[in-house]
């Protein structure tokens, strides 16, 4: 069996042409190509504003700052997530309060939110885990009742839908990632989206050191010396990066359709294997399957399985992290469902160019060896 990667980004001549056009233009920092990428994402998810940044962590940081989160505040965070989500809260001097998940969807459990709200709570960050949106209606209702901001960590979910609405454009602010494992990629990169004019203006301002971009200043008829009023950040995306994003965005729907087809094939194969369950999909959602994450029987040693499959040329991985267990947070919360999923979830190969025959090979290997991981 040849080596089978967990994920593999797809590029063709479109990306090369877009990059060449940017290089030929001589404008390689943030400029017209970033604007084109921003407008494309905003149009796709029906959001009024989109601000391109260096990565999703930067987008989350800006989103929290624009929501007024500061030192001493608390932010409710879905526990089962990559630590970037909790880290962004720490960047603001605030405290992440981790909320347990629904063990079926891996998303934040709305029924666990209200009990954790205090007079210091300022925002809720639901995570659309692996590309499946969280139960946003319930989350928004709780947030509105307590005057809290809702910041969607939609890092994995560009193009995903909840009840006909696009993930990221449902709450007050949404944050996307264009990391190599995401639905479309620019290598690294992120995007903040919002329908709020004031939030959008502040986010863009803070992403550029607290000043206007060079591209905006170039278009002015009169020379003026920039002023720095706020402590901003260098979170700008370059036009080279955006060029890749523009090309990738054109095939987003094609990528989603293909991965949903592959997920159905995975589902069929896993139904035949005892000891591993296919991922649950909420009927109110359209998942984009950023990752295909199955759940192993508690008797199976997940880490041993990952190691053995790797020795056979098959790359798999854990799902993501139970944040409350990470030493950096010193979290007093207990999130038993998240902790259980953290130990049992396994991410299986999923990417645009993956073939059903390869899924069959991996599934047959799992079926033949799974008994040895107990």
Classify residue 284 by its DSSP letter. T
Question: According to the model, what pLDDT value does residue 47 have?
Answer: 98
- pLDDT tens per residue, range 291-340: 999 999 999 999 999 999 999 999 999 999 999 999 999 999 999 999 99
Question: According to the model, what pLDDT value does residue 213 have?
Answer: 57
Query: With 90 as the cut, is the pLDDT of residue 217 above it?
Result: no
DSSP 3-state of 218: helix
Residue 108 lies in a domain: yes
Residue 4 lies in a domain: no
Q: What mean pLDDT is reported for the chain?
A: 96
Query: 358: which 2 tokens?
Result: 């390869």
Domain termination residue (choose one: 207, 222, 250): 250
Question: According to the model, what pLDDT value does residue 80 have?
Answer: 98
The continuous run of DSSP H or E covering 244 comes out as: helix 239-250
Query: With 70 as the cut, is the pLDDT of residue 219 above it?
Result: no
Residue 179 sits at φ, ψ, to 5 deg, of -65, 165
Question: According to the model, what pLDDT value does residue 216 have?
Answer: 58
301 & 231 share domain = no
- What is d(CA 282, CA 267) in angstroms, rounded to the nearest whole number? 15
Structural domains counted in the chain: 2
- What is d(CA 279, CA 240) in angstroms, rounded to the nearest whole number? 36
CA dihedral 118, 81, 177, 232 (to 10 degrees): 40
- pLDDT tens per residue, range 59-86: 999 999 999 999 999 999 999 999 999 9
Burial class, 281, CB count within 10 angstroms (exposed 0-12 / middle 13-18 / buried 19+): middle
Domain termination residue (choose one: 190, 221, 250): 250
Question: According to the model, what pLDDT value does residue 223 have?
Answer: 75
List, as own/partner pairs, every contact residues 134-139 make where C-beta atoms lie below 8 angstroms and the sequence separation is at least 24, other chains included: 134/78, 134/105, 134/107, 134/108, 134/110, 134/162, 135/102, 135/105, 135/107, 135/110, 135/162, 135/282, 135/284, 136/162, 136/163, 136/165, 136/170, 136/171, 137/163, 138/110, 139/108, 139/110, 139/113, 139/171
Domain residues for 318? 252-373
Domain termination residue (choose one: 192, 220, 250): 250
Q: What would the mean pLDDT of 268-281 be, rounded to a whole number? A: 98
The neighbour count for residue 153, using CB atoms within 10 Å, is 32
Q: Hey, which residues does 194 pair with through a beta bridge?
A: 49, 173
Classify residue 51 by its DSSP letter. E
Query: With 90 as the cut, is the pLDDT of residue 227 above it?
Result: no
CA end-to-end span of the chain: 24
372 Rama class: left (phi>0) / alpha (psi -120 to 50) / beta = alpha
Question: According to the model, what pLDDT value does residue 218 have?
Answer: 59
pTM of the model: 0.95
Domain of 57: which CATH number? 3.40.640.10
172 & 117 share domain = yes
Query: With 80 as the cut, is the pLDDT of residue 221 above it?
Result: no
Question: According to the model, what pLDDT value does residue 72 have?
Answer: 96
Query: With 90 as the cut, is the pLDDT of residue 55 above it?
Result: yes
Domain of 326: which CATH number? 3.90.1150.10
């Amino acid at each position: 069996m040849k080596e089978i990667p967990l994920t593999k980004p797809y590029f063709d001549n479109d990306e090369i042409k877009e990059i060449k056009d940017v290089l030929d233009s001589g404008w390689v920092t943030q400029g017209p190509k970033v604007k084109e990428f921003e407008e494309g994402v905003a149009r796709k998810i029906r959001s009024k504003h989109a601000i391109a940044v260096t990565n999703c962590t930067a987008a989350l940081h800006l989103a929290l700052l624009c929501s007024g989160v500061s030192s001493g505040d608390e932010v409710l965070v879905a526990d089962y997530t990559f630590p970037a989500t909790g880290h962004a809260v720490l960047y603001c001097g605030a405290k992440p309060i981790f909320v347990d998940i629904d063990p079926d969807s891996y998303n934040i459990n709305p029924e666990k939110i209200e009990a954790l709200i205090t007079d210091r709570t300022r925002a809720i960050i639901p995570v659309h885990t692996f590309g499946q949106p969280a139960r946003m209606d319930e989350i928004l209702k709780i947030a509105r009742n307590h005057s809290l901001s809702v910041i969607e960590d939609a890092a994995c979910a560009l193009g995903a839908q909840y009840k006909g609405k696009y993930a990221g454009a449902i709450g007050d602010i949404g944050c996307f990632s264009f990391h190599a494992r995401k639905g479309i990629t620019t290598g690294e990169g992120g995007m903040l989206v919002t329908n709020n004019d004031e939030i959008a203006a502040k986010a863009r301002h803070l992403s550029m050191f607290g000043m206007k971009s060079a591209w905006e200043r170039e278009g002015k008829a009169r020379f003026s010396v920039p002023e720095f009023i706020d402590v901003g950040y260098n979170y700008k995306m370059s036009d080279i990066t955006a060029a890749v994003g523009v090309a990738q965005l054109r095939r987003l729907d094609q990528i989603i359709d293909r991965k949903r087809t592959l997920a159905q094939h995975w589902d069929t194969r896993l139904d035949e294997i005892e000891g591993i369950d296919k991922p649950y999909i909420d009927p109110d959602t359209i998942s984009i399957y950023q990752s295909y994450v199955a759940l192993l029987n508690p008797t199976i040693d997940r880490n041993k399985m990952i190691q053995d499959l790797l020795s056979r040329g098959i790359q798999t991985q854990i799902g993501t992290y139970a944040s409350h267990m990470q030493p950096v947070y010193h979290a007093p919360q207990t999130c038993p469902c998240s902790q259980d999923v953290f130990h049992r979830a396994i991410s299986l190969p999923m990417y645009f160019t993956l073939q059903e025959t390869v899924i069959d090979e991996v599934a047959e290997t799992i079926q033949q060896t799974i008994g040895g991981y107990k």
